[in-house]
Structure 1
Amino acid sequence: MPRPRSESARQAVLAAMRSAVVGEGYEALTIEGLAAEAGVSKQTIYRWWPTKAAILGEALVEGALPQAIPDPPTAEQPAADQPAPDLATELVNWLTGSAQQLGRAEGLGVARALIAVTASDPEVGAALNERLAAPVREWVQQRVELATARGEVREGVDAILLADHLIAFTAYAALTGAPQTESRIRATVTLLLTGIT
């Protein structure tokens, strides 16, 4: 019968993962290093997780790591007496929030860890990216539908493709580490919307 997990040891490993991702980065971390940082044996880690990608996944799911990108605003319909939100403004605001998140060491470290794990363990990486991207895709789809109903966006726009472009913009920013200025963000949104307005 497998030995049950020690919750304190598990939390120590997740904390070690957070420290490593923010510090030396996901690609540089090793199971040996995580074990030493957490104060557990390497065998303990391998008993609970098959790979470091699995540890990263659990840490992200449980909120032990900061998000790589911010959650989108609540996608609710505006009240009848309230002006409808402007799609371009909302996209600019979300990308600005993403840029601020990537401007912090923890946010940048997690984003780069997701890129690395996608390359090294495509199955885990795809599952993690889907989990993080799904709320953004849903929000963009609802906002595009609202803009279409107002006559601001043509019928038949692929909102998921638009969302994926926004996510790709943040992923590239994380990969390069280049700061995303307000003018660059606005120019990107304008360029993306030019073909659908």
Structure 2
Amino acid sequence: MTHMSQRRRGAVRSEAARVAILRATAHLFQASGYDNLAMESIAAEAGVAKQTIYRWWPSKSALVAECLLEGLLMPDLGLPDTGDVKADLIAWTDRIFTILREPSGESLVRSLIAAATENADIGRRLHDSLGTESSVTGRLADAVEAGQLRDGSRLQEIAEALVGAVLLRALGRIPIAAGDAERLVDTVLGGALAR
């Protein structure tokens, strides 16, 4: 009986440690950015050994990506549904541009790219969360059903083009001007809009 309760406590402790590590990473990332984030600092803030972190995450970028996927680093980026897909995409893109204007937003993009290049699984998970399985693709599918986009529109490609363009602008540190979100959405939707 004692042996079983010890095992249960171990599993709870492990989950508690995982959550503590993710929260510590998010806090330190937001306080000092990706470049200044150190595994030693994360371990100290989470109250765990550095080896515990490496047991679950092979690198700093993988840990930051996990924080992002758990919703600990950025506000919810769900795509609104006001009934006007073009206006919703413009508002969503503009919201992302606003986040990316902040230094922590730039750091986040760099960490995502680093995580995806270091680990193929992370790359696939990020692709799924930002592109193929995201609220963008689902919202586009709803727009086809509502007659706002043409039947046969390539929804996955539209979502990937929009997200890819946003990431490229962030990586290039291209200044974002008023109206950029609208121009980008117009270009990406192109002939998909129902007339």
What TM-score, normalized to structure 2?
Answer: 0.73
Deviation at 1:45, TM superposition (A): 2.0
Task: Pick closer, same or farther for the CA change 1:57–1:196 going to 2, 3 Å.
Answer: closer
Give the 5 Å matches for 1:39-188: 39-67=47-75, 70-74=77-81, 85-133=83-131, 134-146=134-146, 149=147, 153-188=149-184
Equivalent in the alignment of 1:79:
none
Task: Pick closer, same or farther for the CA change 1:188–1:61 going to 2, 3 Å.
Answer: closer
Task: Pick closer, same or farther for the CA change 1:154–1:57 going to 2, 3 Å.
Answer: closer
Query: 2-side partners of 1:107 and 1:170: how far apart?
Result: 12
Query: 1-side partners of 2:129 and 2:145: how far apart?
Result: 22
| Larger proportion of helix | 2
Residues 78-100 of structure 1: CA distance to partner in whole angstroms, max 9, x if unpaired? xxxxxxx4433222112111112
Equivalent in the alignment of 2:3:
none
- What amino acid maps onto 2:137 in structure 1? R
Does residue 195 in structure 1 map to residue 194 in structure 2? Answer: no
Deviation at 1:56, TM superposition (A): 3.0
Structure 1 unaligned segments of length 5 or more: list them. Answer: 76-84
Contact 1:96 1:182 in 2 (8 A): no
Contact 1:53 1:124 in 2 (8 A): no
Query: 1-side partners of 2:36 and 2:122: how far apart?
Result: 18
Contact 2:33 2:104 in 1 (8 A): no
Deviation at 1:111, TM superposition (A): 3.1
Deviation at 1:10, TM superposition (A): 3.6
Stretch moving more, 176-185 or 89-98: 176-185
Residues 97-136 of structure 1: CA distance to partner in whole angstroms, max 9, x if unpaired? 1112223344443333222211111212211331243221
- Aligned residue pairs total 182
What TM-score, normalized to structure 1?
Answer: 0.73
Residues 13-55 of structure 1: CA distance to partner in whole angstroms, max 9, x if unpaired? 2233114433241x66443342244343212323444444553
Structure 2 unaligned segments of length 5 or more: list them. Answer: 1-6
Query: Secondary structure at the residue paired with 2:192?
Result: coil
Query: 1-side partners of 2:184 and 2:121: how far apart?
Result: 30
Task: Pick closer, same or farther for the CA change 1:108–1:47 going to 2, 3 Å.
Answer: same
